Structure 1
Amino acid sequence: MTGRSRGEVEAEIKETLGLVPHFMAGIPDELLDAEWEIFKRLELGETLIPNKYKELIGIALHSETKCRYCTLFHTEAAKLFGATDEEIQEAVHYAKNSLGWSGYLNGMREDYDGFARELEQIKQYLSSKG
Structure 2
Amino acid sequence: MAGRSRAEVESEIKETLGLVPHFFAGIPDDLLDYEWEIFKKLELGETLIPNKYKELMGIALHSETKCRYCTLFHTEAARLFGATEEEIQEAVHYAKHSLGWSAYLNGMQEDYDAFAQELGRIKEYLAAKD
TM superposition score normalised by structure 1 = 0.98
The count of aligned residue pairs is 130
Give the whole-Å Cα distance in 2 for the aligned partners of 1:112 and 1:66: 28
| Runs of 4+ deviating beyond 2 Å | none
CA RMSD of aligned residues (A): 0.9
Give the whole-Å Cα distance in 2 for the aligned partners of 1:25 and 1:7: 12
Q: Which residue of 2 aligns with 1:44?
A: 44
Q: Which residue of 2 aligns with 1:28?
A: 28
Spell out, residue by residue over 1:36-90, the C-alpha distance to the aligned partner (whole angstroms, 9 max, x if none): 0000000000000000000000000000100000000000000000000000000
Give the whole-Å Cα distance in 2 for the aligned partners of 1:101 and 1:122: 17
* 2:116 maps to 1:109: no
How far off is 1:33 after superposition? 0.2
Q: Contact 2:3/2:30 (CA < 8 Å) preserved in 1? A: no
Structure 1 spans left out of the alignment, 5+ residues: none
How far off is 1:98 after superposition? 0.2
Q: Which residue of 2 aligns with 1:94?
A: 94
Identity among equivalent positions (%) equals 84
Equivalent residue letter for 2:117: R
How far off is 1:3 after superposition? 2.5
Give the whole-Å Cα distance in 2 for the aligned partners of 1:47 and 1:3: 24
Equivalent residue letter for 2:73: F
How far off is 1:2 after superposition? 2.2
Give the whole-Å Cα distance in 1 for the aligned partners of 2:117 and 2:27: 47
Give the whole-Å Cα distance in 1 for the aligned partners of 2:79 and 2:25: 25
TM superposition score normalised by structure 2 = 0.98
Give the whole-Å Cα distance in 1 for the aligned partners of 2:12 and 2:2: 14
Give the whole-Å Cα distance in 2 for the aligned partners of 1:69 and 1:26: 16
